Amino acid sequence: MTVPPQCTRLIKRRRYGFDLRSTTLFFVFLAVVLIVLGLAARVAADTVERRPAWVFVLVVTGVAGWLGLRRRIRVTGVARRAAAALDEAAREAAEELEAPPVPRRRGAAAEVVVDYDALTPEEFEEAIAALCEREGCSGVEVVGGAGDLGADVVAATPDGRRVVIQCKQYGETHRVGSQDLQRFGGTCFTVHEADVAVLVSTSDFTAPALEYAEQCGIVCVDRETLEAWTDGTGPRPWDAAPDLGAAGCETAGAGS
C-alpha cells in the first residue's frame, strides 16, 4: 500500500533583525551633540559672568543687524514702487508729447464766473484792469479816484493804441445816461489822449447815451457784453472801436 506524501505548508515568517552597529552610532552622535551644546552653554555662561559688556555689545549688534535688514528690505520695496511710478509718469509724458497740440480759444483759460455786483467800486476797476492784462495789454494802471477826470483804467493794446476806460458799477435799474457819456467824452480824448475810449458798466445804456457814444466813437460795454468779454466769448472793447476820435465828441457836444 502506497502512502501518499504529506503536503507540507510553508509559512514565511518576517524576521525583525536588531542592528547593533547603527544603534551604537546614533547614540554616539547624540552624545557628541549634547556635549557640544553643553560646552557652548558653559562658555556663554562664563562669558556673561566674566565679561557682561561683550554680551551686551553682541546682543545690540545682533538686534541692529536684524533691524537694518528689515529696513533695507522695506527701502528696497519703496524704491521699487517709486521706480514704477517714475516709469509710468515718463510714459504718460511721452504720450503727451506725441499728441498733437490742441489750439485753445482766446480766454478759454479764464472762463470764471465773476460776480461784479459783489465787488466794491475799487475792486470793479481792478477786475477790468485784470481783463486788460489777460488780453495782452501793457502798462495797465488803475488811476480812478478823486480828480481822475473820467479815467479809471488806462492801458496800451497789443497793437500799441492807448485805451482809456471809465467804470460804472450801476445796478440793473440804474442805466448809464447821456450825461455820464458827455462828461467822459469831454476828457477821454482831449485830456487823456485816448486812441480808444471805453465806458464799462454793470447795467445798460439809455438810447440818448448810445447815440452820443456812437457820434463820439466811445465804445459802450453793457452787462451782457462785459460777461461775454469776461468768459472770452465776446470781442475785446478796442476791437469794436470806431475811428472817430475827439472831433466826433466835439461835434456831438456842440449839437447837444
Residue range 128-137, pLDDT digits in tens: 999 999 999 9
Check residue 22 and give its pLDDT: 75
Tell me: the pLDDT tens digits for 37-55?
888 777 767 766 776 665 5
The pTM is what? 0.54
Tell me: the pLDDT tens digits for 241-255?
776 544 556 545 444
Q: How confident is the model at residue 99 (pLDDT cuts 50, 70, 90)?
A: very low
Check residue 170 and give its pLDDT: 92
Q: How confident is the model at residue 149 (pLDDT cuts 50, 70, 90)?
A: confident
Alpha helices in 112-177 (DSSP H): 121-134
Check residue 163 and give its pLDDT: 96
Check residue 172 and give its pLDDT: 86
How far is the C-alpha of 167 from the C-alpha of 144, rounded, in Å? 9
Check residue 108 and give its pLDDT: 47
**Domain chopping of the chain, boundaries:** 20-96, 115-255
Provide the 3-class DSSP secondary structure of residue 256.
coil
CB 230 within 8 Å of CB 114: yes
**Between helices 178-188 and 207-216, what is the axis angle to 10°?**
20
Three-point CA angle 228, 123, 178, nearest 5°: 65
Mean pLDDT of the chain: 76
Tell me: the pLDDT tens digits for 174-202?
999 999 999 999 899 999 999 999 999 99
How far is the C-alpha of 181 from the C-alpha of 216, rounded, in Å? 9
Provide the 3-class DSSP secondary structure of residue 144.
coil
- What is the CATH number assigned to the segment(s) 115-255? 3.40.1350.10
